[in-house]
Structure 1
Amino acid sequence: MDDTELDKKLKSVGKAAFVTNYELFQNFTAGRISRADAIEALVTKKVSNEAGAAIRNGNAKLIFESGRELDALDLVLQSNRVNDDIRDLARKLRR
């Protein structure tokens, strides 16, 4: 996955959603939780509806499968469109 595709996938997931649900996406990619459970978790947290949650999970999984999750966190850190809480969480996850 090149940088352009990474940026596109991250925007599809949502930068804030990627950071706040990082462990969920990580567990889904590793097979520790099912697709249905990952979708339900996002719907329950009111991140998105079922269709949106499926798209977010799928794109986040592609980021993790290609080993670009830390690069995605770097993109979040460079973004001017996320609040300080999201940026701080991204920094913690990046360590």
Structure 2
Amino acid sequence: MATAKTTESELDLRAEFDALRKQVSEVLGELQSKGKATSARLADKLEAEASHYQEQASAKLQDALDVGNAGLNEVGDQIRRNPVASLLVAFGAGYLLSRLLGPADK
């Protein structure tokens, strides 16, 4: 009779373990699917933010190019208005740079 009880309790215990194993598998499956969904949402959010920052950087770069072009146009206009003075300024700046950066004679 002891063996019948032991066998019956072993069967009950095995059934409980099987049920527990099934529940753990289901929980792990749900966690895995939630993890995939969360990582997909994060990836989408990061992609959107990267796109936003890329657009901002592109706009700032375009602004800098516009400012640089405007400055070059202004310098060009100044040179056209005063070519002799511009030539003298360029010569003087070149002479100073050559004295500062050139080899020392002494």
TM-score normalised over the length of structure 1: 0.20
The structure, 1 or 2, with the larger RCO (C-alpha pairs under 8 Å, 6+ apart) is 1
Which one has the largest radius of gyration? 2
